[in-house]
């Protein structure tokens, strides 16, 4: 059988394929791919519409709220808070220990000033009070002496006469107290002491004329008996004598120490002679001493044998030393007085009476109890008038003054009226660029509604406008025009655009978004305004409106789904 021979062609073998063997596309595979693409496209379209459904804003229905620019009155107020306390509070604290003897009150009792509260025996307090008073008395005596010294810085002649034994003083010399200055004698008269026998006792009397003889001048002088002293001068002969003091005028040529005698005549004409002659003496002699210490300021007619008149200045001392001593002594007296007041107050605290009208808020005493120094044993508060301390900043302090009233309210909305009693500018405090001033108010609490420690809100009018244009606060809107210029506007309803309206760049609304402001299509136009006072509800319009205009207030949502 014959066959056909196919020639063999020799080929160079190629490199074996790398990785997985290449797949061949078949009709079935192509068909499956097309179906998959169609499914994916359908899912993408469904997901898009689902996303739009889920993210779409809820449709809303809104209603425009309108208001009218009205004529009225508006006030601007300052406000804050403060703490209430009793106007009068008295606490009795003991300064020493003791034993309680009687207690007359209990917490809650109403007492009047002067009503006895308790008795406590304290020997320590009594001793402290006595010692303090004794020291004060001693210091007052010292001050009296110093004041007398101050009055005696000028040394004067105590009577008219002649100076002897004059001391020498240097300029600016520090003169001590009781320093000798001079001896002043009254030489206008001289006196003579003579002794007469008691045999003439009945023949001599005070005022009796006497003839005085002085051998040195060989001239008689007339004198009188000034004094009779019933002494017992015994002569060598054994006779007993009494003393007669005779006084006579000095014609200016006599002096002390001159030998002299005297002769008296009885009623029957018999002459009486003394036992012996005597020596003349100055009628008066006084040593002048300084009565205070101080630097020498000036010297008067301070010369030996100088004649001076009564009251004439002899020496003047400076007051520097005595003034310093007086100041130091006054300081001691002030401290001693304070100590006496403290000890007396402490002593009174042991037998206490109510210092004020009020209610006993605490009393820790029981009969027989031992108390110690520092114990606060009783407190009384008078709450019929309360004090409220507030602070007012420097922006509003000029609107408050003593005597004006301030509205107050507590957390329960109970209202009270406070009266300004003081503004303590000296205790103002500054921080963060603002100064706050303490202000005190008095509140009548006769009904007892206000309790001690309560926090109160206050307010008072700082300014007021009457017959002004008022709009609700939310009607005043702050926007910018198309060029970025800021404006304060009120949207006013009008049939056509007013001349003073401005073009405002209105924000574009998203689908379903509630509008914020009305537009010209709604019949409202933004009118620039100048504002004045404001409160929690309204704003004063000073320029831009005439009053009576219908204005946009706000949008409210009436329904949403």
pLDDT, one tens digit per residue, over 207-217 is 999 999 999 99
Q: Which tops the pLDDT comparison, 33 or 430?
A: 430
**How far does CA 488 lie from the centroid of its chain?**
49
Which secondary structure element, helix H or strand E, spans residue 67, and what is its range? strand 60-68
Give the residue among 257, 195, 248 at the shortest CA–CA distance from 219: 248
What pLDDT score does 19 carry? 42
Place of tokens 């002096």: 255
Q: Cβ(363)–Cβ(106) under 8 Å?
A: yes
- CA dist 446 and 442 (Å) reads 12
- Top CATH class of 65-69+467-560 equals mainly beta
Binned at pLDDT 50, 70 and 90, residue 42 comes out as low
Mean pLDDT of 160-181: 93
Query: With the C-alpha atoms ordered 516, 520, 524, 525, is the resulting torsion angle positive or negative?
Result: positive
Cα torsion 291, 294, 298, 301 to 10°: value is 20
Note the CATH architecture for domain 161-316.
Beta Barrel (2.40)
Q: Give residue limits of the domains in the chain.
A: 65-69+467-560, 78-84+381-464, 96-147+320-373, 161-316
Mean pLDDT of 387-410: 91
What pLDDT score does 7 carry? 35
Partners of 378 in the β-ladder: 92, 363
Distances (CA, A) of 21 to 18, 305, 363, 441: 8, 162, 109, 102
Half-sphere exposure of 469 (CA within 13 A, CB side): 20
Average pLDDT, the chain: 87
Range in 47-51, 305-309, 325-329, 467-471 the model is least confident about: 47-51
Query: Does the pLDDT value for residue 9 go beyond 60?
Result: no
Query: Does the pLDDT value for residue 159 go beyond 90?
Result: yes
Is 78-84+381-464's fold the same as 161-316's? yes
What pLDDT score does 210 carry? 96
Which secondary structure element, helix H or strand E, spans residue 321, and what is its range? helix 320-348
- Give the DSSP letter of residue 395: T
Note the CATH architecture for domain 78-84+381-464.
Beta Barrel (2.40)
What pLDDT score does 21 carry? 44
Binned at pLDDT 50, 70 and 90, residue 117 comes out as very high
Which secondary structure element, helix H or strand E, spans residue 418, and what is its range? strand 415-423
- CA dist 248 and 282 (Å) reads 10
């Amino acid at each position: 059988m014959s066959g056909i021979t196919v020639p063999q062609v020799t080929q160079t073998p190629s490199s074996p394929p790398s990785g997985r063997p290449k797949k061949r596309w078949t009709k079935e595979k192509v068909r499956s791919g097309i179906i998959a693409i169609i499914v994916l496209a359908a899912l993408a379209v469904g997901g898009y519409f689902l996303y739009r459904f889920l993210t779409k804003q809820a449709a809303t229905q809104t209603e425009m709220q309108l208001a009218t620019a009205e004529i009225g009155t508006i006030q601007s107020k300052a406000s804050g808070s403060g703490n209430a306390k009793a106007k009068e509070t008295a606490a009795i604290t003991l300064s020493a220990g003791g034993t309680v003897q009687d207690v007359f009150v209990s917490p809650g009792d109403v007492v009047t000033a002067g009503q006895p509260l308790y008795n406590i025996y304290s020997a320590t307090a009594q001793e402290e009070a006595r010692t303090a008073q004794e020291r004060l008395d001693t210091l007052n005596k010292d001050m009296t002496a110093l004041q007398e010294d101050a009055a005696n810085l000028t040394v004067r002649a105590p009577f008219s006469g002649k100076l002897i034994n004059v001391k020498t003083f240097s300029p600016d010399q520090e003169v001590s107290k009781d320093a000798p200055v001079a001896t002043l004698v009254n030489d206008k008269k001289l006196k003579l002491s003579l002794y007469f026998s008691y045999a003439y006792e009945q023949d001599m009397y005070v005022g009796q004329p006497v003839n005085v003889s002085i051998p040195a001048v060989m001239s008689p002088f007339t004198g009188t008996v000034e004094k009779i002293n019933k002494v017992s001068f015994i002569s060598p002969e054994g006779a007993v004598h009494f003393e007669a003091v005779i006084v006579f005028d000095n014609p200016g040529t006599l002096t002390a120490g001159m030998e002299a005698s005297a002769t008296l005549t009885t009623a029957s004409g018999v002459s009486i002679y003394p036992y012996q002659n005597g020596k003349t003496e100055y009628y008066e002699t006084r040593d002048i001493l300084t009565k205070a210490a101080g630097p020498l300021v000036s010297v008067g007619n301070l010369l030996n044998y100088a004649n001076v008149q009564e009251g004439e200045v002899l020496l003047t001392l400076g007051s520097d030393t005595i003034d310093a001593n007086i100041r130091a002594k006054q300081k001691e007296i002030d401290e001693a007085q304070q100590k006496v007041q403290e000890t007396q107050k402490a002593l009174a605290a042991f037998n206490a009476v109510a210092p004020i009208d009020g209610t006993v808020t605490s009393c820790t005493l029981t009969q027989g109890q031992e108390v110690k120094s520092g114990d606060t044993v009783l407190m009384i508060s008078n709450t019929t008038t309360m004090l409220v301390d507030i602070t007012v900043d420097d922006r509003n302090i000029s609107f408050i003054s003593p005597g004006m009233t301030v509205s107050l309210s507590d957390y329960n909305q109970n209202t009270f009226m406070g009266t300004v009693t003081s503004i303590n500018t000296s205790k103002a405090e500054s921080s963060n660029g603002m100064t706050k001033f303490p202000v005190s108010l008095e509140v009548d609490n006769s009904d007892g509604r206000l309790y001690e420690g309560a926090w109160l809100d206050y307010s008072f009018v700082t300014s007021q406008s009457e017959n002004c244009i008022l709009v609700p606060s939310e009607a005043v809107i702050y926007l910018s025009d198309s060029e970025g210029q800021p404006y304060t506007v009120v949207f006013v309803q009008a049939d056509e655009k007013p001349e003073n309206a401005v073009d405002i760049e209105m924000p574009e609304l998203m689908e379903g978004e509630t509008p914020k402001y009305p537009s010209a299509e709604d019949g409202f136009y933004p009118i620039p305004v100048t504002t004045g006072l404001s409160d929690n509800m309204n704003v004063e319009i000073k320029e831009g409106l005439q009053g009576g205009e219908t204005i946009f207030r706000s949008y409210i949502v009436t329904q949403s789904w």
